[in-house]
Amino acid sequence: MSELPNLIPALPEIFLALAGMALLMLGVFRKRDATRQVGHLALAAFAAAAVLALTFGGPRQVTFNGLFITDAFAVFAKLMVFGASAATLILALKWMEQENAARFEFPVLVVFAVLGMCAMISANDFLSLYMGLETQSLALYLIAAYQRDATRSTEAGLKYFVLGALASGLFLYGASLIYGFTGTTNFDSLAQGFEGAETVSPGVVVGLVFIICALAFKVSAVPFHMWTPDVYEGAPTPVTAFFSVAPKVAALALFLRVMSAPFGDLLAQWQQVIVAISVASMMLGGFAAIVQTNIKRLMAYSSIGHVGYALVGLAVGSAEGIGGVLVYMTIYLFMNVGTFAVILSMRANGRLVEGINDLSGLSKNRPVMAAALAVMMFSMAGIPPFAGFFGKFFIFKAAVDAGLIPLAVVGVLTSVVAAFYYLRIVKIIYFDEAGDQFEPMTAQARLVLGIASVFVAVFFLFPLPQIVLAADTAAKALFGG
């Protein structure tokens, strides 16, 4: 009889799996609508999972026969996922009530999506990685098509499903090539096999390229970004808010682990691919967003650009670069959640509006909301002293220190281009003629926007040293430090 694996490192995932099933049964057996209750219990589940991750996830531990790993990097990434998911769920619950779309399945699907994200982040083998990836993806396909009576929502879900299936196929083919040429799918075994290797089989390189393509799809990096604008625009707004933060953070964390842990010694083989994807993402995110008139579509291209900046840190291939990415993604999380708190509050005459020009003269009708949105836009543009400036500073500094000066220059130039459409929004809300007055923000939106605004505005005073230290510790854990 085989020995039972150590379950302690996987307690957050085990708890979320049990919580998701319990919430599903609660929703089914409640005679009246249980959306709010299930949603609040889902938030409590995220908080409990975060406590479990902090308590039991410190030192590096490997379990389930090498399939699952927990370390400082995994804990840092999971905390970001829990925070992002909780913030977007808080916004979504009120929105669903306003739109008469409240169904208990939504928070349950979010819990299962987060379970998949955590499994992805702690994967130490391509097989466990794929299981986490599909657990997340299946939930996200359903969430994208959540408003099944709305044509745009069902179309968004279908597009995401078809292209997501293609990405899964690319990943499986790449993993099978790597297994065929190395005889293992375990990250630790792959790292040992590649350590100090002067040459590597072309089959491994081809398999690695397929895996990079699949992961690039998951983070919506160019040229695998084609689903992002349509899904962001077509999906319900709280779903778009969720897609823009939690899955993005989880997929980037997965990208960092896969490229740094098993393939860290093959930097010369994959660095130029990441550089090319990063440059293309920064350029497309900068230029394509200029012509957008729908704010959700603009945020889609903005997210593509931000992924390009994050991949600059991955291209560096060092602990400094990975630490910069983690700091950047923490800041990105707050900026995006704060912005979507405003987008979800764009209600005029009893209906939601999504046009950028609908923000005209917002400062005259809702001055506090306008000021908070302006802070988010300045931060996304990378203007000091807001948090976004420091995110880009750490990324570009790592690139310069590693000798990737042309990549850093491209990043700075595309940041200037992107600043145009961020500052255009500031101009619209402060200098254009006032349009229809928005309805007052809900208490939930005010709470989320307030926390995000304070974080972004005073980042350089208080959280900066603590977050940088935690990110450096997490990055070193990824490299065995």
Question: Per-domain residue ranges for the chain?
Answer: 266-481
Measure the CA angle with vertex 141, ends 139 and 147; round to 5°.
100
Structure tokens at 319: 């602990």
Q: How many residues does the chain have?
A: 481
Q: What is the pTM of this model?
A: 0.93
Q: Which residue's entry shows tokens 């957050």? A: 12
Alpha helical stretches, state H, 235-317: 237-260, 267-287, 295-316
Cα–Cα distance measured from residue 375 to residue 339, given in angstroms and rounded to the nearest whole number: 9
Q: What is the pLDDT of residue 268?
A: 84
CB 111 within 8 A of CB 41: no
pLDDT digits (tens, 9 = 90+) for 7-42: 888 999 999 999 999 999 998 888 667 888 899 999
Residue 91 in contact with residue 445, Cβ under 8 Å?
yes
What does the pLDDT read at residue 152?
80
SS (H, E, C) 118-164: HHHHCECEHHHHHHHHHHHHHHHHHHHCCCCCCHHHHHHHHHHHHHH
User: Which pLDDT does position 199 carry in this prediction?
Assistant: 76
Report the 10 Å Cβ neighbour count for 198. Answer: 4
Query: With a cut of 70, which residues of the chain have pLDDT below it?
Result: 1-2, 31-32, 198, 480-481
Q: Which residue has the tokens 């590597």?
A: 200
Task: Give dist(CA 274, CA 296) in Å, integer.
Answer: 27
| C-alpha dihedral (362, 364, 365, 367), degrees to nearest 10 | 80
Q: What is the pLDDT of residue 1?
A: 45
pLDDT at 17: 95
At 331-368, the pLDDT tens digits run 999 999 999 999 888 887 777 888 888 888 888 888 89
Rounded distance, CA 53 to CA 57, Å? 5
- What is the amino acid identity at position 54? L
Check residue 32 and give its pLDDT.
67
pLDDT of residue 80: 94
Q: For 402-443, what is the HEC assignment?
A: CCCHHHHHHHHHHHHHHHHHHHHHHHHHHHCCCCCCCCCCCH
